[in-house]
A and B are shown apart, each in its own frame.
Chain A
Amino acid sequence: MYKRIIALLKKDILLELRQKHTFYGILLYIAATIFVLYLSIDKPDANIWNGLFWVILLFVCVNAVAKSFLQENKGRMLYFYSITSPVEFIISKMIYNILLMTMMSLLTLMLFSAFLTNPLNNFLLFTGIVLLGGSSISIVFTLMSAIAAKAQQNAALIAILGFPVILPQLLLLIRLSKTAFAEIFKQGAVMQLMALIIGLDILVIAMSVILFPYLWKE
């Protein structure tokens, strides 16, 4: 099982390395949006900075993860169907998307703090939260992309399906990231929030593993 997951993961990474245009497309997307923000507002205060950051990260994720199932055409899906199980397939996609999103969120964070000043008190803590948030968002959008790939107008559908579902997690993340802006939390509240986000991630992973086999069959 692990072997096949790793093989699938390798295939996705290789594809990414060979077709660099999608990767650079997302990079350009990040750079352009942040530059637009830089030109339209100077020195946003901490709350606005935080809100903008998560919204940008959400849109980056939609763009990065959306293609994970769209790029697989019908013939190739048929091939995967004959060589792997759906559980291995969805897990490999999730791991790949988490890796991709980790990179993208770090990059977003770097550009954000370079262009839009840096109101953070605890940069390291915020980086940790961003990594957690990036992977949570990408897990949810992996399943949404799998669902949307079944319908015809997929790209728009991912946003429609995913945004309401991601809202609870996003609210928790925005709340949690306020610790990095030196907001004082009640004793244990940070751990509670963190545990809740991780719990939600586990719930989403479990749901994906259970539900994907039904999506997979054509």
Chain B
Amino acid sequence: MQKNWWKILSFLLLVYTIVGGFLLDVPRLFILNETIRNLYFHVCMWFGMMILFSTSFVYSIKYLRGFNLRNDIYAHQYAAVGSFFGILGYATGTIWANYTWVTDQSQSLGNILREPKLIGAAIALLIYGAYFVLRGSFTDMDKKARVSAVYNIFAFAMLFPSIWIIPRLVGSLHPGSPGSESGNPALNFKDIDSRLRMVFYPAIIGWTLLGVWITTLRIRLQLIKDKTLLHD
């Protein structure tokens, strides 16, 4: 119980997010209307992804400091769940954009995918995709762990230009773009209605905790699979 309180918290927060997210009152803006409720899902996925990738990065550094295979398993699983969150964030964002960023009648999905924010996100996912390909190409466990830790650290460093810096430089319809007078490329914190905040902040915590929960389950499974290799 003492160790599992955060799992219960995650469950309660997500129940609140889904019930409150669909039923509580939201501001109705032109075009956006009720779709603003996607804020509780779409944006939280990116928060979750960033936190999971950062954790993976930290475990990769820990691996290179002590060469403990356990840390490599941690880094791998955090990156895997982080990428999954990234894919979900990309999908929810694309669908949302497809209905709200209507600029002309002949708008196609191809036009939307050209958005700087989406390009940056796609690059981030491709970088982590390469990380998994790299892991798959080794037969030697130690070598795999060492080289993929190196690539993971490099990938995390390259994540910043692709999702935090470049999208800031180019105009986009996404909230928080250069035109909209905000420092954050993802969303404008000063611009959120207080009714949205009531659900949005708990939702971030809830989804992130869920991500960590999924990862811990995967790590435990992997640790059992590699039991014979981990002699500690």
Q: Is B truly associated with A?
A: yes
Binding site for B on A (CB under 8 A): 143, 147, 150-153, 157, 160-161, 163-165, 167-169, 171-172, 192-193, 196, 200, 203, 207, 211, 214-215
Which of A143, A171, A207 sits near B166, CB closer than 8 Å? A171
Given A151-B138, A168-B162, A193-B169, 9 more pairs with CB closer than 8 A? A147-B134, A150-B143, A151-B134, A160-B133, A163-B126, A167-B126, A192-B169, A214-B150, A215-B150
**A143-B154, A151-B134, A151-B137 are contacts. A214–B126 as well, Cβ < 8 Å?**
no
- Max chain B C-beta neighbours (<10 A), residue from A157, A171, A200, A215: A171
**A152-B137, A171-B166, A203-B157 are contacts. A164–B130 as well, Cβ < 8 Å?**
yes
25 contacts between A and B (CB under 8 A): A147-B134, A150-B138, A150-B143, A150-B147, A151-B137, A152-B139, A157-B134, A157-B137, A160-B130, A163-B130, A164-B123, A165-B158, A167-B162, A168-B123, A168-B158, A168-B161, A168-B162, A168-B165, A171-B166, A172-B166, A193-B169, A211-B150, A211-B154, A214-B64, A214-B146
Return B190 CB to nearest CB of chain A, in Å: 25
Return B162 CB to nearest CB of chain A, in Å: 4
Tell me the residues in window 136-176 of chain B with beta carbons closer than 8 Å to chain A beta carbons.
Answer: 137-139, 143, 146-147, 149-151, 153-155, 157-158, 161-162, 165-166, 169
| Chain B minimum-CB-distance residue to A154 | B137
Chain B residues with CB under 8 A of A153: 137
Size category of the B interface is 20 to 34
Which of A143, A163, A196 sits near B165, CB closer than 8 Å? A196
CA distance A171 to B130 in the complex (A): 19
Which of B123, B149, B151, B161 sits near A161, CB closer than 8 Å? B151
| Chain B minimum-CB-distance residue to A192 | B169
Q: Answer whether residue B97 sits at the interface, using C-beta atoms and an 8 A cutoff.
A: no
Q: Is the CB of B150 within 8 A of A165?
A: no
Which of B137, B138, B153, B158 sits near A211, CB closer than 8 Å? B153
Which of B120, B139, B151, B161 sits near A147, CB closer than 8 Å? B151
Q: Is the CB of A164 within 8 A of B126?
A: yes
Q: Is the CB of A215 within 8 A of B146?
A: yes
Chain A residues with CB under 8 A of B133: 157, 160-161
Q: Is the CB of B147 within 8 A of A151?
A: yes
CA distance A5 to B229 in the complex (A): 40
Return A211 CB to nearest CB of chain B, in Å: 5
Q: Is the CB of A161 within 8 A of B147?
A: no
| Chain A minimum-CB-distance residue to B162 | A168
Q: Answer whether residue B127 sits at the interface, using C-beta atoms and an 8 A cutoff.
A: yes
**A192-B169, A214-B146, A214-B150 are contacts. A165–B134 as well, Cβ < 8 Å?**
no
Chain A residues with CB under 8 A of B138: 150-151
Chain B residues with CB under 8 A of A207: 153-154, 157
Which of A147, A165, A172 sits near B127, CB closer than 8 Å? A165
Return B129 CB to nearest CB of chain A, in Å: 7
Q: Is the CB of A147 within 8 A of B147?
A: yes
| Chain A minimum-CB-distance residue to B64 | A214
Chain B residues with CB under 8 A of A143: 154
CA distance A207 to B119 in the complex (A): 24
Q: Is the CB of A214 within 8 A of B143?
A: no
Q: Is the CB of B146 within 8 A of A161?
A: no
CA distance A211 to B153 in the complex (A): 8
Q: Is the CB of B119 within 8 A of A161?
A: no
**A211-B150, A215-B150 are contacts. A165–B130 as well, Cβ < 8 Å?**
yes
Chain B residues with CB under 8 A of A152: 137, 139
Return B170 CB to nearest CB of chain A, in Å: 8
